[in-house]
Structures are given as C-alpha cells and as structure tokens.
Amino acid sequence: MKQDAKAARPRNQADRLRLVTGRHNQRLKELRLAFRRAELTPQGECAIEGVKLIEEALRSGQHLQSVFFSESARPLAEKLLPQINARTETVVLPNALFNSIVPSEAPQGVAALLKLPVFSPEQLLDRSNNGPLVVAAGLQDPGNLGTILRSAEAFGAAGIFLTEGTVSPYNAKVLRGSAGSIFRLPLVRIPSAELVPLLRARGVRLLATSSHQGTPLPQVSWTLPLAIFIGNEGAGLPHEIMHQMDETIVIPQTAKVESLNAGVAASIVLYEIAREIHFTEN
C-alpha cells in the first residue's frame, strides 16, 4: 500500500541529512561546475544558493533535485526540510567545503540543484497576445538582466528571449537579481537570426529602445503582439538588428543625463505597457 507523503517523512527531519565530506563527490562536482561556469549541468540542472532563492523556488513549485547545507546551517535545515520533498536528496557539508563551492562572499549555508522548465520559441510566441515579449540582445551586466527578469514578471510580460552575447541567465548575480522571477517567467535562448523571422511570421511588432531619438514613450501605441528589444549597455543593438525594427522608442529625460541604465529603461517601458494594457483593465 502506497504511503502518503506525510507518513513517508522521518520523525526527525535531521535524519534526512546525509553527511558528505569528500570533495570528489559527483553531486558536489556538478554543483561546483554549475556555479563556476554559470550554466546548466550536463543533466540540465541550475545551481542556486541563498535562503531567499531556495524559498522562492519552493514557493514557485519547483522540484529541487539536491539540496546542500553547511554544517553551521543545521538550524536552517531544520526550518527548510519540512518544505522540501521527502524524495529530494539533502546533504550537509563541512563549512569550509561548502564555502569553497558557492560563489557568494557571505554564504548563507544552503544551495541546491534544480531543473527549470524548458520552453520552445513557439510556446513564448503563443503567449504574445497576453503581454509583451522582451528580447535581451547582448546585455552583459548580470544585474541588468536580473532586474529585467523581475520587472518583466511584475508588469505582465509574456516571456523573454535571450540572444547571442547576453549574459547567462544562470549567473549567480542574475539569479539573485531576478528575486525568483526566473522560476516563473518563461525564457528561451535563441540567436537573433532565428528569432526575428519567427517574430515576423507571427505578426509581432519589433520595438527598440534608444537613449537619443525615436518616438517619445507617451506617444507609442502598445497594441499587442509586440517585442521590446533591449540592447547592449554600451553599444546598444547591433546595426543589423536595429535596421529590422518597426519603431524606435525613447524615454524623455533631461539633457544632462546621457542615458538610462538598461534595467531601469526596460522597467519603465514595461510599466508603461502594463499601465495601458493590464492596469487599466482592473
């Protein structure tokens, strides 16, 4: 007879923790490599760390494959273990070993490997009538991408495309900056040469942001479907992509300021779209 989840749990949550002291443990190697490369493991797992991100992943319904605690974080483990699936591998590591693996300068004593949902370009395009698509085209600052992910979810974006030259969404700073939005917002990495024709075929309007000239933000029509292209922090969008845009938009600002931070600019644009499309409907 199949036991329910509650009955399957150990009486003492600490009994679930398996002590690992060897640096050559396979799961530790995968965790270390994922953090070092800021990419998925060969098994398609993402590495995250910190209490807030772990809690956001759990709140978002993500299944953690493995959770790692430092020895000094056993009290934290006691708090989090009841929220973690009983089938999830949970291990405890010596403090020095844990701290040598995670990228944070002030580790909080918990990290995890998890598999994020995988989306196809078509799945994002199918959502394009529900909100704007965001295209990060060559963004290199992880803080900017994290901010854009957070704002995209907050203001009802349909999803985000990441083209060549854009920082990895699995970078630790991107993950922290997203404040959990990466667990809930669909994203797809795709070359711009493939993406633009797909957007055109679906009748999606292509809009680019500019710090100097274009249609002032209050005068832009936000009729869906549309895609907002956010270019590199210094160089902007590549010329070959800029020439394919339907419209360039500019955020009015004082002449003393040369340009806005890419994350801030994207957030303002996304708010303006939400104000017209979503907020006015409520």
For the chain (282 residues), the mean pLDDT of every run of 10, in chain order, is 44 77 92 95 95 96 96 95 93 96 92 96 96 96 96 97 96 96 97 97 94 88 96 84 93 79 94 83 50
pLDDT of 1 reads: 39
pLDDT of 279 reads: 63
Q: For the purposes of burial, counting CB atoms within 10 Å of the CB of 33, is it exposed (0-12), middle (13-18) or buried (19 or more)?
A: middle
Please give, one letter per residue, the 3-state secondary structure of 204-236: CEEEEEECCCCEEHHHCCCCCCEEEEECECCCE
What architecture is domain 121-281? 3-Layer(aba) Sandwich (3.40)
Alpha-carbon gap, residue 97 to 93, rounded angstroms: 6
Contact 246, 205 (CB under 8 A): yes
- pTM of the predicted protein model: 0.89
pLDDT of 3 reads: 40
Q: Is the dihedral of CA 255, 256, 260, 264 positive or negative?
A: negative
A 10 A CB-CB count for 268 gives 17
Would you say domain 12-114 falls under CATH 3.30.1330.30? yes
CATH topology of 12-114 equal to that of 121-281? no
pLDDT of 6 reads: 44
pLDDT of 180 reads: 96
CB neighbour list of residue 141: distance below 8 Å, 6 or more residues apart: 167, 233, 262, 263
β-strands 64-70, 187-189: how paired? unpaired
pLDDT of 2 reads: 43
Q: What residues does each domain of the chain span?
A: 12-114, 121-281
